[in-house]
């Protein structure tokens, strides 16, 4: 939770600074807070164990068009301790987002997909011994939701994340509820022809 709080504070500061510049650009800066349920599974050879936990995420990005965005994120996918065994898994990454709205003027119901590359940090501790590994892996996710206007939206999102813990495979599947805030409405540019030139 401490890592999530620090990361969230930094990202929100960056969003505040970016919102000033967004007014002069063709797209929208946005931030999304996500919270929900994750299912983490550790598999070694033919042995496997899984557990559930609460997942948190913060995403920051920019829509270059109403259908295409680039975003960065930080997510906590699991952080629990059970009977002397504890694990935590978090990820930071960068990817692209595709989105399709079905309402008027890019509002209303929508579907979305996202994919990219992430750095996954996995840690397992038991009996005073800790194992930690960091790996670079692809990720993907899908979502559906509703944009109430050009600034606010809610979504339900599914994400698949994979990491390594030495010779063990670690996967996390999360289902989260997300709140989007887009910092600037769509820009409407008017071209005026004066003296044979556009300004």
Residue 16 clears pLDDT 50, i.e. is over it: no
Mean pLDDT across the stretch 168-182? Answer: 92
pLDDT, tens digit (0-9, with 9 covering 90-100), for 39-85: 988 787 776 667 788 999 999 999 999 999 999 999 998 877 666 67
Token match 């990820």: residue? Answer: 91
According to the model, what pLDDT value does residue 84 have? 66
pLDDT, tens digit (0-9, with 9 covering 90-100), for 81-99: 666 677 788 999 999 999 9
Instruction: Look up the pTM and report it.
Output: 0.75
pLDDT, tens digit (0-9, with 9 covering 90-100), for 98-144: 999 999 888 999 999 999 999 999 887 777 777 788 889 999 999 99
Instruction: Identify the residue with better confidence: 91 or 164.
Output: 91
CA 77 to chain centroid, in Å, comes to 11
Give the H or E element holding residue 167.
none
Residue 196 clears pLDDT 80, i.e. is over it: no
- Measured CA to CA, the distance from residue 149 to residue 25 in angstroms comes to 19
Q: Which residue from 172, 163, 164, 141 is spatially nearest to 78, judged by alpha carbons?
A: 172
């Amino acid at each position: 939770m401490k890592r999530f709080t620090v990361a969230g504070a930094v990202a929100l500061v960056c969003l505040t600074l970016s919102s000033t510049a967004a007014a002069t650009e063709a797209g929208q800066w946005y931030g999304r807070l996500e919270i929900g349920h994750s299912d983490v599974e550790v598999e070694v050879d033919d042995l496997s164990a899984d557990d559930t936990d609460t997942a948190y995420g913060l995403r920051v990005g920019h829509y270059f068009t109403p259908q295409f965005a680039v975003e960065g994120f930080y997510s906590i996918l699991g952080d629990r301790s059970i009977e002397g065994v504890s694990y935590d898994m978090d990820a930071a990454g960068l990817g692209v987002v595709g989105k399709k709205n079905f309402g008027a003027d890019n509002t209303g119901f929508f579907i979305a997909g996202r994919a990219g590359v992430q750095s996954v940090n996995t840690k397992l501790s038991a009996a005073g011994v800790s194992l930690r590994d960091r790996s670079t892996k692809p990720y993907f996710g899908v979502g559906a939701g509703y944009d109430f206007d050009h600034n606010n939206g809610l979504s339900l999102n599914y994400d698949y994340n994979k990491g390594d813990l030495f010779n063990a495979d670690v996967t996390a599947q999360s289902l989260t509820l997300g709140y989007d805030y887009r910092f600037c409405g769509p820009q409407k540019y008017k071209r005026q022809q004066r003296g044979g030139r556009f300004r």
